[in-house]
Structure 1
Amino acid sequence: MKVLLLLLSLWFQSGSSAQPQTTGVRPTQQTATVADTTVLGQPADQDSLVMIFNGIGPYSREARALRVGNKIKKLRESTFTAELTIKYGEVVNEIMHGEELVMTVNDADAKALGLSLSGATSFYKEQIEEALTISSFNPNNSFFINVGIALLIIGLFIFGLRYYNRLFRLVYMKIHAKKGIWFKGFKVKNYELISEDKLIVYIVFLAKAARLALLLFIVYLLLPTIFSLFPWTQGIANTLFGYILNPLKSIGSKFLNFIPNLLTILVIIVVVRYLLKGLAFFRTEVAKGRLVLPGFYPEWSKPTYNLIKVIVIAISFVAIWPLLPMSESPIFKGVSTFFGLLVALGGAGAFSNVIAGLVITYMRSFKVGDRVKIADVMGDVTEKTLLNTKIKTLKNEIITIPNSQMLNSHTINYTTANEEEGLILHTTVTIGYDVPWRDVHKCLVEAALATEHVKKLPKPFVLQTSLDDFYVSYQINARTREIKKMSSIYSELHQNIQDKFNEAGIEILSPHYGAHRDGNQTTIPQSYLPEDYQAPWFRIQNDQPKK
């Protein structure tokens, strides 16, 4: 039918040559040669004959038709076929089957068909595709042999299916028999994540799924194998095999192309690994004091190593990223950009804490174990990380302070002061002007010397910090090296101050001169008063002369 339409078209075009052609090409009346595309000795369907109108290059029209026909017959007899493609050129177009040339189409062929070069190429491509799908049936010895082979394959499959099911029943029994031996469940510390019974159920389920998947795969392989035995079903066989082989070929080809990049990635990983090992060695040497670097403190070794480690890994990641498969694909770039945006938006606070942690580390404000006071929090440093610092207070409270907050507040390190002449503890009492300051100094110094863990030398000293309206402020200063016992030392010091002042008969109060002191019981405890002590009388003096 198509040949008839083609001949009618040529006749109509030749009869109306005076009219303008839509393709811009004037066809010539030529005699066509049919490319022989017979299969198994039977002629092809006339609707799918490939008409050759002229020769090309060194090939005559007949030689060219014979050559194209042989190519089509070779493709039809092959087991696996790929799709036909068109390779466009400036002068001629080529119809390709994979890497093999099937037919070349030039301007002469286009003129003979009354089509453009592109249209003529598409026409011949369709003709060849139809010629490849034609099937002929010619019963002969090979046909009956193929039928026998197909029946044998089906029989072997049915026979093997029985033992296939028996094999998996034995697998199920083996799984149950190994309960408690191979399959003991999973536990996370004392919590049983998966019990033995549940684990057996999951494994049997996976075995059944594997049995079904393997059976479907075997059936999938048997069908194209049987279809490939007969010419009229070879197209189906090729399609079914293509569903498996084409992805495998693509994966294999991409893997072979990836091998040079894979070797480069392995070299980068090995170099980075041994570089980090070398840096770890120097970190240990510096931390233990065996390697001394001028101006570099041992406690800087670990954070410096971690910082350099992050930089090295980041640089290696940047070097490896373009070598990964699909790294240039738009989807891969979009996903990586999305995750980068999430990290940038969600990690701003964490990143500021990391920077603050590095600054605090190199400031050497404190180290783990130091007694510090940060803002209004006082305690011992128990943990120091890039994100936060944990402090155990004197009441055994664990307080976590973000590093960014620490950087914006002042820090008092009591342990560092103790490394010199000891930490100076101080407290203040206020005594009225009626008490001689030398007596106050003496009582305060004696109270400090009587306190446990206070250093005798240098001797405690007193500072008069202010002269207020009604009293004088006296500050006692005493040194100690027991930083961890600051609270108990302060408590004992205050007790001793009370005792020493009571023994000296000095009242610890800040009197206002508007108060009436005479006639009131003293505030000194009774145990420190004389046995014959009596509260003084309220005295009133009369300055009027006696009459």
Structure 2
Amino acid sequence: MNEDNFADELTAFVEMFNTGTLILLVASILVLWLINWCIRYFMERIMMRFPTRRFFIMQLSTLMSFTLYIVGGVVLVVGVLRPPQEFMIAVGGSAAVAFGFALKDVAASLVSGLILLFDRPFQVGDRVSFENVYGEIMAITLRTVRLRTLDDNIVTIPNSRFITDVVASGNLGAMDMMVVTEFHLALDADIQEAEDIVRQVIVTSRYAYLKKPVTFSIEEVQVAERLSIRLRAKAYVLDVNYEKAFQSDITRRASSLFRERGILRPLR
């Protein structure tokens, strides 16, 4: 009796993957991929037209991709393969155990991806620091997060890593972000004048977001075995894409004014 049941289940399994079903399955997968490509292309065109809303558009694109693949996968299995109920029950138990061990890391990343989507410790478009990697979140997929560093490298990180490890978001969905720029001065330098110079440089920068305050912190630090004054300027850039341009602009112009006005720097 058991042998007869096994033969019937095997026959049902073979019938599921006949030539017509396989062609329909491949065609359906290609259609899913094409729809997802069209969604991303359409969203990129919208972002070019409305750059100030690009974070919302990128997040909407990610959500639509999630929904498309999840719903599409279920429809393919149920609507195209149409496995009999007896076969699903018989195979499901053993397959669950086998795939559970083989794909536990993938499953953890899939679940973590859903947690990231709704808990939102960071969003697509954010500048984040994770371990020794810093850059912009380009995409949150079902399994991984893709991050572009400031050197234009794409770093792929499993979703599960973000659930257990510490991650810092610099802007959390906002267009503006704080940028900290450091200057080192000699111990006998005129600190107040140096601060006034840096403030002047910041407020006249085309990249500065002046609706938020410009602040400073001053402390003694050791540089090359010598004591010096570290002046840290904390200001906001109007768009995270201009982070390094803003920092470079401040550093270049402030350093030039330091030389012109005789602001002493640490000796080598």
User: With structure 2 as the length reference, what TM-score do the two structures score?
Assistant: 0.61
1:495 counterpart (247, 252, 257): 252
Cα pair 1:470 1:510 within 8 Å, conserved: no
Cα pair 1:448 1:496 within 8 Å, conserved: no
2:127 counterpart (371, 379, 382): 371
Q: Counterparts in 2 of 1:38-187, with a 5 A limit?
A: none
1:390 counterpart (146, 157, 162): 146
Cα pair 2:123 2:173 within 8 Å, conserved: no
Inter-CA distance 369–423: structure 2 relative to 1 (3 Å threshold): closer
By how many angstroms is 1:477 displaced?
A: 1.7
Inter-CA distance 351–502: structure 2 relative to 1 (3 Å threshold): same
Inter-CA distance 431–482: structure 2 relative to 1 (3 Å threshold): same
Inter-CA distance 459–350: structure 2 relative to 1 (3 Å threshold): closer
What is the root-mean-square deviation of aligned Cα atoms in Å?
3.7
1:480 counterpart (223, 229, 237): 237
Inter-CA distance 447–357: structure 2 relative to 1 (3 Å threshold): same
By how many angstroms is 1:486 displaced?
A: 1.0
Cα pair 1:372 1:378 within 8 Å, conserved: yes
Q: Counterparts in 2 of 1:62-461, with a 5 A limit?
A: 302=64, 309=71, 323-324=85-86, 327=87, 333=90, 337-416=93-172, 418-419=174-175, 422-458=176-212, 460-461=214-215
How many percent identity over aligned positions?
Answer: 16
By how many angstroms is 1:403 displaced?
A: 0.5
Q: Distance in 1 between matches of 2:235 and 2:267?
A: 24
Inter-CA distance 464–338: structure 2 relative to 1 (3 Å threshold): same
By how many angstroms is 1:472 displaced?
A: 2.7
- Deviations, residues 354-409 of structure 1 (Å, cap 9, x unaligned): 11111111111233333333222222222211211111222221111100112222
Q: Distance in 2 between matches of 1:493 and 1:365?
A: 30
Cα pair 1:447 1:500 within 8 Å, conserved: no
Q: Distance in 2 between matches of 1:446 and 1:413?
A: 28
Which residue of structure 2 aligns with residue 197 of structure 1?
none
Amino acid at match of 1:363: D
Amino acid at match of 1:447: V
Amino acid at match of 2:215: F
Which residue of structure 2 aligns with residue 229 of structure 1?
none
Q: Distance in 2 between matches of 1:382 and 1:390?
A: 5
Structure 1: runs of 5+ lacking an equivalent: 1-250, 252-297, 512-547
SS of residue in 2 equivalent to 1:470: strand
Q: Distance in 2 between matches of 1:340 and 1:459?
A: 56
Q: Counterparts in 2 of 1:8-27, with a 5 A limit?
A: none
- Deviations, residues 320-377 of structure 1 (Å, cap 9, x unaligned): 97744xx59xxx94x5544333212211111111111111111112333333332222
- Deviations, residues 183-226 of structure 1 (Å, cap 9, x unaligned): xxxxxxxxxxxxxxxxxxxxxxxxxxxxxxxxxxxxxxxxxxxx
SS of residue in 2 equivalent to 1:426: strand
SS of residue in 1 equivalent to 2:97: helix
Q: Distance in 2 between matches of 1:399 and 1:417?
A: 20
- Deviations, residues 41-89 of structure 1 (Å, cap 9, x unaligned): xxxxxxxxxxxxxxxxxxxxxxxxxxxxxxxxxxxxxxxxxxxxxxxxx
Q: Distance in 2 between matches of 1:485 and 1:382?
A: 16
By how many angstroms is 1:412 displaced?
A: 2.8
Cα pair 1:389 1:400 within 8 Å, conserved: yes
Moved over 6 A (4+): 310-313
Q: Distance in 1 between matches of 2:103 and 2:121?
A: 26
SS of residue in 1 equivalent to 2:172: helix
Amino acid at match of 1:391: L
Q: Distance in 1 between matches of 2:260 and 2:139?
A: 47
Amino acid at match of 1:509: P
- Deviations, residues 301-328 of structure 1 (Å, cap 9, x unaligned): 6588579959987xx89xx97744xx59
Cα pair 2:184 2:266 within 8 Å, conserved: yes
Inter-CA distance 351–374: structure 2 relative to 1 (3 Å threshold): same
Amino acid at match of 2:156: T
Amino acid at match of 2:162: M
Which residue of structure 1 aligns with residue 33 of structure 2?
none
Which residue of structure 2 aligns with residue 279 of structure 1?
none
SS of residue in 2 equivalent to 1:476: strand
Amino acid at match of 1:476: A
SS of residue in 2 equivalent to 1:448: helix
By how many angstroms is 1:491 displaced?
A: 1.5
By how many angstroms is 1:501 displaced?
A: 0.8
